[in-house]
Amino acid sequence: MASVSVDEAMRRAIELAARGLGTTSPNPVVGCVLLDADGEVVGEGFHAYAGGPHAEIVALAQAGPRAEGGTAVVTLEPCDHTGRTGPCSTALVQAGVARVVIAVPDPNPVASGGAATLRSAGVQVDLGVRGDEAEAGNVAWLTSMRRGWPYVIWKYAATVDGRSAAADGTSMWITSEAARIDVHALRGTVDAVVAGVGTVLADDPRLTARNLRDGSLAIRQPLRVVVDSSGRTPLDAQVRDGAARTWIATAAEVGAGPDGRVDLPALLAALHQRGIRAVLLEGGPRLAGAFLAAGLVDKIVGYVAPRLLGAGPTALVDAGVTTIAEAIDLEFVDVTQVGPDLRITALPRKREG
């Protein structure tokens, strides 16, 4: 096999890491490529599930003795602690790896320190190769670990004129089956799906990740969270079925904000404590507005149908904007056609001051 550059190896490691998206939480997604002393790929690995072998261990097992004197290319700094698995830093040293190339340092104080351990053992350590790409692929976990609450994605579906339902309240289905399939795939990448009690009362959603073609449930289900300040979720609501875990988050349990409703920062902190690193905020428009007004949304994924209603509920209400100067500016990062609909991905711009 021909030798590859460290840059090419890191690109491959980032691709490998993405295979663990949705199954590794509360751990990060990580990919590793091992090159022997001649620069040939002798091992590959990624972290597949929490509690399972880390990417470096999988790659080392493939490489065997050919790892000695070689280079490990890793998307995240090798861990330096013993949890359900041993420290990857020690494993790399014991395998005789001469160089470790890391895309992103580990912000987790419990697991960080691998680079220092490697250097103290005489291993050459280089940081920052394709760092931006590796950061983007692991953004939810990295963001959550750095600030102490989950990465929040607001998902909505609307017509071109911004309506989430018709004037009579009907909303099934604004978007196409292709868009709904895409949403269920998105649910499969997060740890929790959050909706307001208003949505539960109006639509009685299941909030599970499913295969829409046959109705079967995905193997891994996100936690279902109903933001229900006064505990109005009916006992027979579908969100209470046994298909997935459910938390009815009340103001009495979580804490109340100035308006008497569930304190949203406290809710996110509580979710982080439960091991939730990525949240999909699905409904309704008033809850989404509260999250946006508080600056708690990290990414927006909107499914826009080529339809017009002219009246009916809008996808967003009360986001704290009263004048054009207060508008929440967005940066479009992707626009993709999904069936007849458009999927628009955007990031809220940081407000100055």
**Active site positions, annotated:** 56
Alpha-carbon gap, residue 131 to 46, rounded angstroms: 17
Q: Cis ω on the peptide bond leading into residue 289 (within 30° of 0)? A: no
Residue 199, amino acid: T
Helical axes 6-17 vs 55-63, angle rounded to 10°: 120
The length of the chain, given as a count of residues: 353
Helices and strands in the chain: count of H runs, count of E runs: 11, 13
DSSP state of 57: H
DSSP letters for 297-338: --EEEEEEES---SSS-BS----S--SGGG---EEEEEEEEE
Task: Looking at 19-68, list the stretches that DSSP marks H as alpha helix, in order from N- to C-terminal side.
Answer: 55-63
Q: Which ranges of the chain does DSSP label H, i.e. alpha helix?
A: 6-17, 55-63, 88-94, 114-120, 131-137, 139-147, 177-187, 197-203, 251-254, 264-273, 285-293
Residues contributing to the annotated binding site:
54, 79, 88, 157, 171, 173, 187, 199, 203, 207, 210, 229, 282, 284-290
Tell me the binding residues for NADP(+): 157, 173, 199, 229, 284-290
Please give the annotated binding residues for Zn(2+), written as ranges.
Answer: 54, 79, 88
Binding residues for substrate: 171, 187, 203, 207, 210, 282
